[in-house]
Structure 1
């Protein structure tokens, strides 16, 4: 991989990538080791309720291809949040950038934890030790790399992961004592194929809660996530960028289904052969255990290598985009043109902040050891740290006449609601509803104030 000569190379790759490569990179961003290990663990422990999240992706990818991609391709800045400063002032840009950084650190930690599970099963090393060593190695790789290394690695490893998942499905279906029919019989008996309740409750992950949560999270991914904006910018032209948004999102829908099939197949496999699974192995640990102990040696090596490579590319993606945000939204903001174009200084900032982000993610990974489900923990953290910034983006993008002060009041209300939902111990809403209600609050308060307040003052002036 050619050395990055400047900050533009490091963050956008010079805008030279084909659409298919960028699309595979977007797909791999979705998959990573979070999907590869956590989705089967989720399906093994429960049902296919979490697959509803995948069903929401086409909505976001279609909107992205039509609206978000052209929008960001026409903006000069590599930052996804420069637009917010133009609309509402620097506070909006800094708020969204800070929320994004918190989200990415949580993501790095989740991936590091999941990467440690198969190696723990295979070698018996302690999970904290694996997290620390892996974090240091990947951080070193990320500091030296850039968006070029990230995208090409994503594209290659995304392809390997698809074949790895297919191989696991075939091997599992051939391993049932009485044939593949047991998958459907036992799966149906234990309600493993359920997409969740269709009731109106908002404090449990029903089908509707998962669907709405998925739509909001994926709109945020495509609409205001620095990872995606850098990929839009890295495509060689507008057509390639639009194709990448559609291809990357739509490919994830059938591939993620494979992971749920694997999780249910693992449940059936160990249900029909209970002596094969040792006591104490459950949830997220089941698939790594099967990879090490249930697959042929060659396939085991391929999958472990693929999971680690995908995890490395996922972490490097978060580190690269996070460092880009710190550089463009904090260090370069308000600086003279000569300082902004000081490439030596820019690269130094990118390298240092990349290192700090990697270590911060390592700390989160160590904290993840005590969680029951890495997928649930990651989704909850993503909903909280996103801070409803999608609402602020939509307020600026859709409601053109909303002023700075109304957006600020809306954001304060949204953050207050998010804080209450997160820290009060309330049981009215599920944690997945945090981003939904936070986004709606910011948008609605800001939009309604822009209508009501001017009318109120106009009425007062007329009376005087």
Structure 2
């Protein structure tokens, strides 16, 4: 490693070693499938709450939010503003429902409601969402570590993936939750440390940062215009509500944690503790982004280095200096926002502290990826393999299946991370992919929960209509110019909003039409 001092390397190695030891410690308890997936329902609510907070506070937040703020405004915080309403809905309706079913999978009840197809469809949507989430997180962390170490991003992703797979397979959900408690604390302390270093490196400190931020609208929450074609305040708010409702309401990562609590009351407490912690934390990372923007305004020579680095990634290896300079001059802050945090760490954070902050970034990645691996393994084992291939598995076989599925999920996630190398904004990529995959799943779930009269046939037609709408909104930009009028006019963040509402409303309308036709037939029969 060519840039990191020995002290920083030692801090990182100690941290990774500690994670592996935690996995080994809890492996002694994982003698059955229930312990691996539910921790026997003995985790206190406060620990689950910090665990959920740590999952939210992924490297997409740690790296993506400052990068997004650097290149734009505080729209990422608008996403967080929607959390309390989504948490209220989840705590009032979803948590009691899941606790009453006793099913470890969030999607088993969909089969009881609509049939096996609905359960499988939701699981596929969830697995694709997790693949996108893990991939974007692997990529985001590799982007930072490459700047610090000089190692290739592929090598970093593979090495980190192996470490995460080992401790997740060993420790199960209990190791995931308790390591996330520690990781949540490390990440928060790392964020405060970064803020302190930024302020001390900007001449004039907080006053100068505030002046630059106000002048360049770096504290703005976005446009309040009632438009859904751009990422306005309202678009991000709607997107945030639907994504957070999906997270709290039917994402296996969170639903599985509700089952680890000793009671429904403790599970509800965990949701609200997450909200109380994440709202100020997300604001803190927006402040970091605005602070970094001010820092690089004061040090334009460092900005030029970042621009050239970003430009070279999209040019041939034999590009001339003049070509690089020309390409760099065309870049905007939004094009290289994800690179400012790694560059700042390399140039301004003292030895020893870099290791601590890298450990915080690693913990941000590991907590989300490990929980995603555990949740993906759980739903694959319960909803796919045991449902369709071998329903009579004993407990030993089920535990082996969970271990194998965890490894496969981890490998798929790191492959997705490698595939994302070169993406301009990790946060934009994650927002777009999660909106596409989660929209259909949430719409079907709400249809089954709210419209109690909807039957299997109406649900199938509603999902088909919803999928077609989502595909059109996602792919219509590829249409040739002569068909430009057929392109999606809305911003990409509206995909989950429109997709969810399409499935729900289509199901309700089809149900009403069936009931109306039935009433007309009955009335005709009586008349005859």
Shorter-chain TM-score bucket reads: over 0.9
Deviates more, 1:453-462 or 1:435-444: 453-462
Q: Does structure 2 retain, via aligned residues, the 8 Å contact 1:47–1:193?
A: yes
Residue 405 (structure 1) shift: 1.0
Indicate the residue corresponding to 1:303 in structure 2.
357
1:136 to 151, 162, 177: 162
Q: Please say if residues 472 and 488 of structure 2, whose CA atoms lie closer than 8 Å, have aligned partners that are also in contact.
A: no
Q: 1:303-356: CA deviations, max 9, x gaps?
A: 10121123112111100000000011012226787x24x122112211221121
Q: Residue 72 of structure 1: which of 91, 98, 102 is its match?
A: 98
SS at match of 1:195: coil
The answer as to whether partners of 2:63 and 2:341 remain within 8 angstroms in 1 is yes
Structure 2 distance, partners of 1:115, 1:18, is 30
**Computing the radius of gyration over CA atoms, which structure comes out larger, 1 or 2?**
2
After superposition, give the CA deviation of every residue in 1:377-435 in whole Å (9 maximum; x if it has no partner): 01100011114211111111111111111111111111110011111212401111111
Aligned residue in 2 for 1:10 = 36
CA distance in 2, matches of 1:374, 1:188: 26
Per the alignment, residue 254 of structure 2 pairs with 228
Q: 1:240 to 1:458 in 2, by over 3 A?
A: same
Give a deviation string over 1:52-108, Cα, whole Å, max 9, x none: 101001111122222211111111210000111111111110000000000001111
- Deviation string 1:232-255 (CA, Å, 9 cap, x unpaired) is 011122221110011112311110
Return the alpha-carbon distance in structure 2 between the equivalents of residues 19 and 457 of structure 1: 48
Residue 105 of structure 1 corresponds to 131
Aligned to 2:414: 362
Tell me the distance in 2 between the aligned counterparts of 1:407 and 1:71: 20
Distance 1:21 1:128 in 2: 34
Query: Within the alignment, does 1:92 sit opposite 2:122 as a pair?
Result: no
1:160 aligns with 2:186: yes
* Distance in 2, Cα, partners of 1:72 & 1:463: 43
Aligned-residue CA RMSD (Å) = 1.5
Question: Superposed, which structure 2 residues align to 1:6-405 within 5 Å?
Answer: 6-277=32-303, 278-279=305-306, 280=308, 282-333=336-387, 339-340=392-393, 342-405=394-457
Shift in Å, 1:204 = 1.2
Q: 3-state DSSP class of the match of 2:176?
A: helix
Q: Indicate the larger mover: 16-25 or 134-143.
A: 134-143
Cα deviation 1:424-457 (Å, max 9, x = unaligned)? 2124011111111111011111112111212123
Structure 2 contact 187–361 (Cα < 8 Å) conserved? yes
Distance, in Å, in 2 between the alignment partners of 1:139 and 1:368 is 20
- 1:103-157 Cα offsets, whole Å, 9 max, x none, are 0011111111111122111111111221222223322332223101110111111
How far apart are residue 262 of structure 1 and its match?
0.3
Distance 2:149 2:109 in 1: 48
TM-score, normalised to structure 1's length?
A: 0.96
Quote how far apart the aligned CAs of 1:374 are: 0.3
Distance 1:225 1:447 in 2: 23
- Select the residue among 504, 516, 524 that pairs with 1:443: 504
2:67–2:289 contact (8 Å) kept in structure 1: yes
Q: Secondary structure at the match of 2:40?
A: coil
Give, in whole Å, the separation in 2 of the partners of 1:367 and 1:203: 29
**TM-score, normalised relative to structure 2:** 0.85
What is the DSSP-based 3-state SS (H/G/I as helix, E as strand, rest coil) of the residue aligned with 1:400? coil
- 2:491 corresponds, among 421, 424, 430, to 430
Instruction: Confirm or deny that 1:414 pairs with 2:466.
Output: yes
Pairwise CA distance, 1:275: 2.5
Q: After superposing the two structures, state which structure 1 stretch, 196-205 or 408-417, moved more.
A: 196-205
Tell me, yes or no, if the aligned pair for 1:169 and 1:262 is still in contact at 8 Å: yes
- The answer to whether the 8 Å contact 2:230/2:491 transfers is yes
Provide the secondary structure at the position in 1 that maps to 2:57.
helix
In structure 2, the residue corresponding to 1:456 is in which secondary structure?
Answer: helix
Ranges in structure 1 where 5+ consecutive residues have no aligned partner:
none
Query: Quick one: distance in 2 between partners of 1:121 and 1:113?
Result: 13
Tell whether the 8 Å contact from 2:187 to 2:363 is kept in structure 1 after alignment: no
SS in 1 for 2:102: coil
Give me the whole-angstrom Cα distance separating, in 1, the residues matched to 2:44 and 2:515.
Answer: 48
Q: Could you tell me how far apart the structure 2 residues matched to 1:440 and 1:220 are?
A: 13
